[in-house]
Amino acid sequence: MRIARFTTEGHDPRYGIVDGDDLVVLAGDPMFSGFETLDERVPLADAKLLAPVIPRSKVVCVGLNYIDHRNDMATPAPDTPLIFLKPNTSVVGPGDDIRIPPVAGRIVHEGELAVVIGKIASRVPAERALDYVFGFTIANDVSARDEMFRDGQWARAKGYDTFCPTGPWIETELDHRSLEIQTYVDGEPRRHGNTRDMVYSVEEIIAFASDVWTLLPGDLILMGTPAGLGGFVDGQTVDITIEGIGTLSNTGRNR
């Protein structure tokens, strides 16, 4: 089932089930209110899709979770998952601009599978981790790469407003273990990989992260990017396609 968060003229954000070319409108936030539907359908063409979830507390990210990407970065593999946070103010939706800050160096895209947490999770064992997953979406872990290396840590370079596009919707029924991930810039292939090549699985990352932070409903976990060339500039459009979910598209714009 695909769950979208959307708006139409004259309405606050609502939720709907994607049904062909329409959205079947839900009575409330399905994460808290279930999947009760209203007697209303909205054509997708008439809806503005929004970020499918705005995390109430945090976006958890996993660095260097594909072996080929580790080789690209010439970085030794850590003994445990490398996790860090992006603020929820970095989250934007499909079609929203990525606002490029006036900093030196490269702005880099990182197309990633994103896990949407569905209920409070603390110290969850890996074998039960999927019980806490509401669904999956696509995310772009945008980075000011040269600023990241200059700072010696990642919070500023990855935390700018708009640096976490997500969408276009949440897929609640998905076998995440072998999904093709492809990233394009203005139609040119840039990154390609498959989730079967992740160093740490979704289940292992949920267990590891929930031992550090209590995960709340709506929190996102970004599972890392495959290898590839990552830069984009003002006016270029980044398309990220994940098998079984769809395509997330955003355009870079100078501030």
**Residue type at 42 in one-letter notation:** V
Residue 76 DSSP code: P
Which residues 6+ apart lie within 8 Å of 30 measured at CB? 3, 15
Q: 125 preceded by cis ω (within 30°)?
A: no
Residue 78 DSSP code: P
Cα distance between residue 26 and residue 216, in whole Å: 22
Cα distance between residue 252 and residue 255, in whole Å: 9
Task: Please give the average pLDDT of every successive group of 10 residues along the chain, which has 255 residues.
Answer: 96 97 98 96 98 96 83 69 96 98 96 98 98 98 94 95 98 97 98 95 98 98 92 98 98 97
Cα distance between residue 16 and residue 12, in whole Å: 13
Q: Residue 50, Cα to own-chain centre: how many angstroms?
A: 13
pLDDT tens string 172-217 = 999 999 999 999 999 999 999 999 999 999 999 999 999 999 999 9
Cα distance between residue 84 and residue 148, in whole Å: 13
> Could you tell me which of 105, 189, 90, 177 has the C-alpha nearest to residue 145?
105
Domains of the chain are 2-49 (2.30.30), 59-254 (3.90.850.10)
Tell me the CA distances in angstroms from 192 to 68, 111, 144, 146, 197, one per residue in order.
10, 9, 21, 22, 11
Cα distance between residue 238 and residue 235, in whole Å: 10
- Tell me how crowded residue 229 is: count the other CB atoms within 10 A of its CB: 14
Query: 27 and 38 in contact (C-beta within 8 Å)?
Result: yes
Cα distance between residue 58 and residue 136, in whole Å: 16
Total residue count of the chain as it appears in this document: 255
Query: 219 and 57 in contact (C-beta within 8 Å)?
Result: yes
Rg (CA), the chain: 17
